[in-house]
């Protein structure tokens, strides 16, 4: 079984679609490791704020099969792929890491570049996997977050899923 970390994000009815994404992931992969949930401004375009979190799963699927499964979950939740790359999303699920794989595997770049670029990915990843190491840099996610230098505003928000509080606003 591979340990995989995924980024989930939404800025269109985000509570509805993040919950639907978590439901689908739990139904398909079992127990989830779930980070706190953060709100941040849209990056790369003017749009509504995003809700983001990181989820850890265990899977025996290949990277390609997992990617296809995640795209099917996005599509089932109204994901529109015909618009601009940087635009609003009902549900976005990206593979951040897959064990310690590094490079392009089945068309997926691992680890995903957003891990090092975006606070809304790195902070929650550092919270659920602080001692895991970035496959390219060899640094722990906790150390990468501690040394993060970009000015991206995000804040923890209250979030409930399946009648459980999984995140509390700071």
User: Domains of the chain: which residue ranges?
Assistant: 2-167
Per-residue model confidence (pLDDT) at position 11: 93
Omega before residue 100 within 30° of 0, cis? no
Strands 92-98, 108-110: pairing is: unpaired
Q: What is the DSSP letter of 15?
A: H
**Distance between CA atoms of 78 and 94, rounded to whole angstroms?**
16
Most confident of 41-50, 75-84, 111-120: 111-120
Banded pLDDT at 49 (limits 50, 70, 90): very high
Superfamily for the 2-167 domain: 7,8-Dihydro-6-hydroxymethylpterin-pyrophosphokinase HPPK (3.30.70.560)
Per-residue model confidence (pLDDT) at position 12: 93
Banded pLDDT at 45 (limits 50, 70, 90): low
- The single residue listed with the structure tokens 């699927």 is 61
Per-residue model confidence (pLDDT) at position 71: 96
Res. 42: pLDDT tops 90: no
């Amino acid at each position: 079984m591979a340990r995989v970390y995924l980024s989930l994000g939404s800025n269109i009815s985000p509570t509805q679609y993040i919950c639907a994404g978590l439901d689908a992931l739990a139904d398909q992969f079992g127990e989830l490791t779930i980070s706190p949930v953060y709100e941040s401004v849209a990056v790369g375009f003017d749009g509504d704020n995003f809700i983001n979190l990181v989820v850890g799963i265990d899977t025996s699927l290949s990277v390609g099969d997992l990617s296809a499964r995640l795209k099917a979950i996005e599509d089932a939740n109204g994901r529109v792929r015909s618009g601009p790359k940087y635009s609003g999303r009902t549900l976005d699920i990206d593979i951040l890491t897959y064990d310690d794989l590094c490079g392009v595997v089945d068309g997926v770049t691992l680890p995903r570049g957003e891990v090092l670029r975006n606070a809304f990915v790195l902070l929650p990843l550092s919270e659920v996997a602080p001692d895991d190491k970035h496959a390219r840099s060899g640094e722990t996610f906790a150390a990468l977050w501690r040394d993060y230098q970009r000015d991206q505003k995000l804040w923890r928000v209250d979030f409930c899923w399946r009648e459980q509080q999984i995140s509390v606003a700071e």
